[in-house]
Amino acid sequence: MNSVRCFGVAKEIVGDQRLKMEIEGLSISEFKTLIQQKFPEFATIKGYMVAVNQVYALDSQVLSNNDEVAIIPPVSGG
Amino acid sequence: MNIEVLLSKEKLSIDRCYSSVVDEACGGICLFVGTVRNQNKGKLVTYLDFESYEPMALKEMKKIAEKGIHKMGANHISIYHRTGYVGISDIAVIIAVSSIHRKIAFEVCQYCIDQLKETVPIWKKEFLEDGSYWVGARP
């Protein structure tokens, strides 16, 4: 079981800063599809990236439960 | 070649940021200071709240500074960003770049702030008189 970190608008959609879910073996694309099924409101935001171990991940990357995974909605620093 | 990156809940110091890039060999220092506006798209803003994914934000800030030095030719770069509650006219971000001649300092400073807005995991929630929203999150 992984504890996915959620920030900004993602934290509001999920309702928590951590989302417990099984991610072992999922690609980033599959992970995003699953997230969208659990929380259809993600379709209403401008998109989001997924970071794995504090680095932006490509859609083809495969997740393991030991990874530090984060949902990164559009950033707005500065 | 010094790089300093900082996320801080406390007020940011222009003096400290400036001093961190001073170098006898450099003839130019470019500072960018981003402050909080009192309005956005015709609505009055009362304050901002910045959230960050701190360890990753610091790494991304460092990557930007590394490119500014190793690929673009700056000598020293410091990037400071505020987190948490930030009031109107307060400083949200400071970027200081020193280089031997001014041209590179200007270019790298612009690159750093543009890139920070694209890749660094920091989020701004804008509080208006009649509500609040995460900036840039929705179409």
Are B53 and A7 a contacting pair at CB < 8 A? yes
Which domains does chain A possess? 2-72 (3.10.20.30)
Mutate to test the interface with A, among B53, B64, B83, B132 (most CBs of A within 10 A): B53
**Percent of chain B at pLDDT above 70?**
100
Residue A75 CA: distances (Å) to CA of A22, B27, B71, B117: 26, 34, 24, 7
- From first to last of its 78 residues, chain A has per-residue pLDDT tens of 999 999 999 999 999 999 999 999 999 999 999 999 999 999 999 999 999 999 999 999 999 999 999 999 999 999
pLDDT of residue A43: 94
pLDDT of residue A14: 98
Are B137 and A72 a contacting pair at CB < 8 A? no
Chain B contact set for A74 (CB, 8 A): 136-137
Contact A17, A6 (CB under 8 A): yes
d(CA B21, CA B27): 11
Chain A contact set for B118 (CB, 8 A): 75
Residue A25 CA: distances (Å) to CA of A3, A6, A61, B117: 15, 20, 10, 32
Tokens 């504090």, residue located: A54
Across the interface, of B57, B113, B136, the residue whose CB is closest to A46 is B136
Contact A70, A2 (CB under 8 A): no
d(CA B3, CA B65): 7
Are A78 and B113 a contacting pair at CB < 8 A? yes
Residues of B near A (Cβ–Cβ under 8 Å) read 34, 50-53, 55-57, 59, 81, 92-93, 113, 116-125, 134-139
In the 3-class helix/strand/coil scheme, how is B54-94 assigned residue by residue?
A: HHHHHHHHHHHHHHHHHCCCCCEEEEEEECEEEECCCEEEE
- Prediction ipTM score: 0.96
Domain layout of chain B by residue ranges: 3-129
pLDDT per residue over B94-129, tens digit each? 999 999 999 999 999 999 999 999 999 999 999 999
Across the interface, of A9, A44, A72, the residue whose CB is closest to B134 is A9
CA B109 to mean position of chain CA atoms: 10
pLDDT per residue over B31-85, tens digit each? 999 999 999 989 999 999 999 999 999 999 999 999 999 999 999 999 999 999 9
Which strand ranges, in their side-by-side order, compose the sheet holding B28-35? B3-8, B76-82, B91-99, B28-35
CA A26 to mean position of chain CA atoms: 12
pLDDT of residue B53: 98
User: In CATH, what number does B3-129 get?
Assistant: 3.90.1170.40
Contact B77, B95 (CB under 8 A): yes
Q: How far is A69 from chain B (nearest CA, A)?
A: 11
